[in-house]
Chains A and B, each alone.
Chain A
Amino acid sequence: MVTESTVVNKVSTQVESSQSVVRMTDVGKVFPNGNVAVNNINIDISAGEFISFVGPSGCGKSTIFKMISGLIDNTKGNIEILGSDMNDTGQKRTDVGFVFQDATLLPWRSVLDNVMLPLEFQKMSKQEKKQEALRALELVGLEDYTKSLPRQLSGGMRMRVSIARALVAKPKLLLMDEPFGALDEITRQSLQTELLRIWEKQKMTVLFITHNVFEAVYLSTRIAVMTPSPGKIASTVDVPLAFPRNDEIRTTHQFSDIVAQVSHDLKF
């Protein structure tokens, strides 16, 4: 595969606020079969942001996340990821957590062992690993279910385990690809509130994919609106709603104005 791009990772000891965490310049991806998934993606994401990507199916949202996480390479442009211990020379990227659409738990492992999985690739004592996993499970409110198997849990609980697994290595950057897409509205809303609480507490940067404009507005500090064929970012919309946010905010004028703005940009 011909790759004319380079991934530049600057190493710094500490992520200061307003520092760029992800910077994409003219990033494009053409799959080996000729599919142009995205073209000319330009975005600069600062530390501490909660940014949502909304857009129709197939516009390249997952592709962008896979490039940021290093699962696939970009075929054009630059991706810069700033943060401590980040380089591309085969070191473990514990600074980036990833939550997939389905929980992707290992069915033969208990909840605790599933959450411990990312730590198994790090040098750490067994006891420490267990403590970290318990801490992550407490964060999502599942500390009483450590011994359960995934199939004994509801869909919402499985997603919490998946989030705990992504958080266990204390990532600076959390990528979430439609994590609540398969959940019912009530579970979805309670997980949204919890996610915001965790985000505020952990002071990390969250990149979030969703089809749901209301979800994007409720969660985000900023929304990247994407349009398809080939995928690009049509606009970014700031969400100046104050934190902490609660359910009442969903019915305010300001909220519905932003929803209208995003929906409008989606139709381009």
Chain B
Amino acid sequence: MENIQTEKLEVTQKPSARSTKINLNILSVWGPPIIALVLFLLIWQFGTLLLQIPPYIMPKPTDVLAATIENWSRLVNSATTTILESVIGFVFSVLIGVSAAIIMASSKILERSLYPYAILLQTIPIVAIAPIIVIWFGSGMNAIVIIAFTIGFFPMLSNTLIGLNATDRSMIDLLSLYKASKWQIMWKIRIPAALPYIVAGLKISCTLAIIGAIVGEYIAGIGGGDGGLGYAITVASTTMEIPYLFACGIAASILGIVFFLLVSLFSKLVLGSWHESEMKKER
């Protein structure tokens, strides 16, 4: 077994060299966008000041900041409501999307008969069906969760289905040799092999769920508690609280970013050890 020595694992990288590399990486990754953001805020601030645009048309960053501080508890309430709605909607779209994909992948007949309607559902604009959802489920939390679910469902379904159907043929042959059942093949091979696709679906659906919740609040009104960010935006626009309206919009996009980062972190944890898409840093 002499030849084993020549096939040693490559685990030699000096830790010190690696950590300075990572520091440099952080700077080169975060530096440019932060500089761009600061520049953008400065131009916004001094541009509106110089052009003397009134705050009810275009508030300055400082106006937005002031409105945020002033209405902090209102903002936190609205954000909490929106988070709750979108998380519930997202969880449903993941659970139902993945289960539906598994069912369709296990039977070609089911896939052929159901998938076209899933695509059809996807092509109907959400604003067209939202009023119907409101009529069926009443205006409020339920309808909003269902709208968030509807938007996030299709990317989960189609991504998972593509992943399940893309499983390596020889791996399935391998399990057939052991006389594995259809469900054993699904559980031991197809679902793990589809994980990278499922995670890609999660990344799309999580931000869509926030958009769904906000659109839902727009149409279905108050939602839970005192209403979410979408509802707050409609109220702020009728009462001409434009700086607060901006604060709500920015809060919504921060929610989307945080949501996306959490899902990305999850993806690293799940796939980090083996899948290509999460291995770039090692190369």
Chain A, residue nearest B171 (CB): A104
Contact with A along B157-191 (1 / 0, CB 8 A): 00000000000101101101111100010001100
Beta-carbon contact of B180 and A121 below 8 Å: yes
Contact with B along A99-143 (1 / 0, CB 8 A): 010101011100000000110110000000000000000000110
A154 within 8 A of B: yes
From known contacts A71-B177, A90-B179, A92-B178, infer whether A187 and B188 are also in contact, taking CB-CB under 8 Å.
no
B9 within 8 A of A: yes
From known contacts A96-B177, A141-B1, A190-B3, infer whether A104 and B9 are also in contact, taking CB-CB under 8 Å.
no
Give the residues in chain A near B184, CB-CB below 8 Å.
121
B13 within 8 A of A: no
Give the residues in chain B near A154, CB-CB below 8 Å.
7
* A247 smallest CB distance to B (angstroms): 12
A156 to B1 CA separation, bound complex (whole angstroms): 12
Chain B, residue nearest A121 (CB): B178
Classify chain B's interface size.
20 to 34
Give the residues in chain A near B3, CB-CB below 8 Å.
156, 186-187, 190
Beta-carbon contact of A92 and B179 below 8 Å: yes
From known contacts A91-B179, A107-B275, infer whether A148 and B9 are also in contact, taking CB-CB under 8 Å.
yes
A245 within 8 A of B: no
Interface-central residue, A90, A108, A153, by most chain B CB under 10 Å: A108
Beta-carbon contact of A100 and B170 below 8 Å: yes
Chain A, residue nearest B189 (CB): A106
Give the residues in chain A near B168, CB-CB below 8 Å.
104
Classify chain A's interface size.
35 or more
Beta-carbon contact of A100 and B174 below 8 Å: yes
Beta-carbon contact of B176 and A71 below 8 Å: yes
B40 within 8 A of A: no
Interface-central residue, A106, A145, A150, A187, by most chain B CB under 10 Å: A106
A15 within 8 A of B: no
Chain B residues 7-64 with CB under 8 Å of chain A are 7, 9-10
Instruction: List chain A positions with a Cβ less than 8 A from chain B.
Output: 69-71, 90-94, 96, 98, 100, 102, 104, 106-108, 117-118, 120-121, 141-142, 145, 148-154, 156-157, 186-187, 190, 194
* 7 A-B pairs with least C-beta separation: A141-B1, A190-B3, A121-B178, A107-B274, A92-B179, A154-B7, A108-B274
